[in-house]
A and B are shown apart, each in its own frame.
Chain A
């Protein structure tokens, strides 16, 4: 499209002569000979070049300067008589691209027009670039915000698995160490992981997905779903890999809980059915005893009903312990008193089943910080387990259960529970603290030892087990005198196991 030129000259004849000449150079030329015409043209049209003959009218200068201010891309060429050129230069300064002396030399006019044309194109391009740059800047800000705020962990890694960039969420949970190795930051490892999705993406240029367990800078473990994608350079080579990890810890916990709830229902229903049958039996015996006026049978049946009620109560409590997170109520308890409270119910139980129960409680054990209700229940559970192990064993004539309490290294208390019962094979030993595992057939729910073990763990303690099939078992339980820093919550819903 031809460039638009406005020619301002009050000398109409001079203006027309110039118009003719300039048109030949493929410009579209309009003439304004009065201030009114100038105002109309400037207000209603866009101009590439304005050629103004100054000196012909005194008002042209301010109008043009004002127009240049609002239209910086327009190129102004000033024509003036020789004695007015200096004054024109002072007035327009660099706002004009060229100053020509009147009468105008055609070559000088050609050059001025060309220069103005080039300048106009250059300025238009610069203007366009500036606009693009602004767009780019805005886009960059948007992408940056997206990168920072996206609700997952993002890191960019080089071939050596060094992190070159990371987003805000990543920095918050894993620190802002740029240049650190991914495996160090994410997993606190000293060497790369075996099946690294980033390495795989560097190899084949494809996206890879894995599920990982990562450790935050505060030592917290998260389940994350990790996806990778290559970042290529101008040559199309993979220069870096972006790794996005979504925290799915809550989903996994929920899933585990649902699975264990399913397991619990299955496991419970069998145990509950057995108990209900036994309760039916007790009631039947009671009714039959009353019908036949058989006092002995009534007494026996009452004991049976009572026993079943206790069993059902214990099972319901275990389910409740398992189903709900609880706060541990620590108190300073005299260790000897704690031990005596545990011994009481077991003495009655062993007496009933003709088992020799030997107790050894050391002197001056001192106080211990525990939730006594939980701790006593856990120790009773370990001891009941020892009694059960004796009851299941038919080979040994005389059964013994032992319970000893002593200090260990002035750091805490050691409870040792022994029995010469049926003993455990390796599999039972490995699984004994797993949720819903029982080796007692319909007699067990698989909750007792799981909860007991959790209680010891949450008190900062540990349980060691020695056992041999046919010889019996030994449980060695250590608990510290003082409550641990993080041991305030029992969360029965967490997964079982050691």
Chain B
């Protein structure tokens, strides 16, 4: 069965890019453009992994993560931060990985694969 990834990013182009990369590599993808929508998607879709932007209008990445981990059914979903913000690796220390924009596709896919295996 295909693994499902939820992509949360306020930039439509980045969202589309991530979705295309994941789909082309055999994953199922759902997307959200900000935290509130992301939380709703997580509840509805129960993804196996979430990629999360840090700076977005509305709630920013760390606040989304806090809300996510407050829900029993969602708190164990691994989260990978993908951000262009300086120091993003310190913004969410519990993330399984923190990747800088612009990212290396192969490296991202390898991290995603590892995270899903664990």
Interface residues of A (CB under 8 A from B): 266, 269-274, 276-282, 284-285, 288, 304, 307-308, 392, 439-443
What 20 new A-B contacts, CB under 8 Å, besides A288-B24, A442-B10? Answer: A266-B86, A269-B86, A270-B55, A273-B84, A274-B14, A274-B84, A274-B101, A277-B84, A277-B102, A278-B11, A278-B13, A279-B102, A280-B102, A281-B13, A281-B14, A282-B13, A392-B57, A441-B55, A442-B84, A443-B11
Instruction: Say yes or no for B20: interface residue by CB 8 A criterion.
Output: yes
Q: What residues of chain B have their CB less than 8 Å away from a CB belonging to chain A? A: 10-11, 13-14, 16-18, 20-21, 24, 53, 55-57, 84-86, 100-103, 105
Kindly provide the distance from the CB of A392 to the nearest chain B CB, expressed in whole angstroms. 6
Complex CA–CA separation, A272 to B100 (angstroms): 12
Q: How many A-B residue pairs have CB under 8 A?
A: 72
On whether the beta carbons of B102 and A273 are closer than 8 Å, the reply is yes
Bound together, the chains give a CA A266 to CA B84 distance in angstroms of 11
Selected A-B contacts with CB under 8 Å, 21 pairs: A269-B86, A270-B86, A274-B14, A277-B13, A277-B84, A277-B102, A278-B14, A281-B13, A284-B17, A284-B20, A284-B105, A285-B16, A285-B17, A288-B24, A392-B57, A441-B10, A441-B55, A441-B56, A442-B56, A442-B84, A443-B10
Q: Which residues of B contact A266 (CB under 8 A)?
A: 86
Q: With a CB–CB cut-off of 8 A, which chain B residues contact A276?
A: 101-102
The residue on B at minimum CB distance from A308 is B13
With a 10 A CB-CB cut-off, give which of A269, A308, A442 has the most chain B CB atoms.
A442
- Bound Cα distance from A288 to B19, whole angstroms: 13
B75 to chain A, nearest CB (A): 25
Minimum CB distance partner of B17 in chain A: A281
Residues of A within 8 A of B101 (CB): 273-274, 276-277
Nearest residue in A to B56 (C-beta to C-beta)?
A: A441
B16-A442 in contact (CB<8A): no
Give min CB distance, A396 to chain B, whole Å.
16
The residue in chain B whose Cβ has the minimal distance to the Cβ of A304 is B13
Q: In the assembly, what is the distance between CA of A176 and CA of B75, in Å?
A: 76
Q: Are B20 and A288 in contact (CB under 8 A)?
A: yes
Q: Is the CB of B11 within 8 A of A442?
A: yes
Q: Are A273 and B17 interface neighbours, CB within 8 A?
A: no
A86 to B109 alpha-carbon distance, docked (Å): 131
Question: Cβ of A442: which chain B residues have Cβ within 8 Å of it?
Answer: 10-11, 53, 55-56, 84
Q: Give complex CA distance A439, B24 in Å.
A: 33
Kindly state the separation between the CA atoms of A319 and B98 in the bound complex, as whole angstroms: 29
Taking CB atoms, residues of chain B closer than 8 Å to A285 are 16-17, 20
Question: In the assembled complex, which residues on chain A have CB atoms less than 8 Å from the CB atom of B10?
Answer: 441-443
A441 to B53, CA, bound (A): 10
| Bound form: Cα–Cα A209–B21 in Å | 63
Minimum Cβ distance to chain A for residue B40 (Å) = 12
Q: How long is the Cα–Cα vector from A110 to B55 in the complex, in angstroms?
A: 110
Interface contact A278-B17, CB-CB below 8 Å? yes
Q: Which of these, A288, A304, A439, contacts B57 with CB under 8 Å?
A: A439
Q: Which residues of chain B come closer than 8 Å to A304, judged between CB atoms?
A: 13, 16
How many angstroms from the CA of A307 to the CA of B24 in the assembled complex?
Answer: 23
- Contact check, B11 vs A307: say whether CB atoms are below 8 A apart: no
B20 x A270 contact (CB < 8 A): no
CB of B37, distance to nearest CB on chain A (Å)? 8
Q: Once the chains bind, are A307 and B13 in contact (CB under 8 Å)? A: yes
Residue of A nearest to B53 (CB): A442
* Residue on A nearest B24 in the bound complex, by CB: A288
What is the distance, in angstroms, from B88's C-beta to the closest C-beta of chain A? 10
Residues of A within 8 Å of B105, CB to CB, are: 280, 284
Question: Given A439-B57, A441-B56: A274 and B21 within 8 A (CB)?
Answer: no
Chain B hits for A271, CB < 8 A = 84
Distance (Å) between the CB of A307 and the closest chain B CB? 7
User: Of the candidates A270, A284, A308, A439, which one forms a contact with B85 in the assembled complex, judged by CB atoms under 8 Å apart?
Assistant: A270
Residues of A within 8 A of B53 (CB): 442
Q: What is the CA–CA distance of A308 and B10 in the complex, to the nearest angstrom?
A: 15
- B2 to A: closest C-beta gap in Å: 18
Q: How far is the CA of A23 from the CA of B11 in the complex (A)?
A: 116
Q: Which of A279, A284, A308 has the most CB of B within 10 A?
A: A284
Partner pick for B103 among A269, A277, A279, A288, CB 8 A cutoff: A277
* A residues less than 8 Å from B18 (CB atoms): 281
How many Å from the CB of B69 to the closest CB on chain A?
Answer: 22
A284 CA / B85 CA spacing, docked (Å): 23
Chain A residue, CB-CB nearest to B100: A273
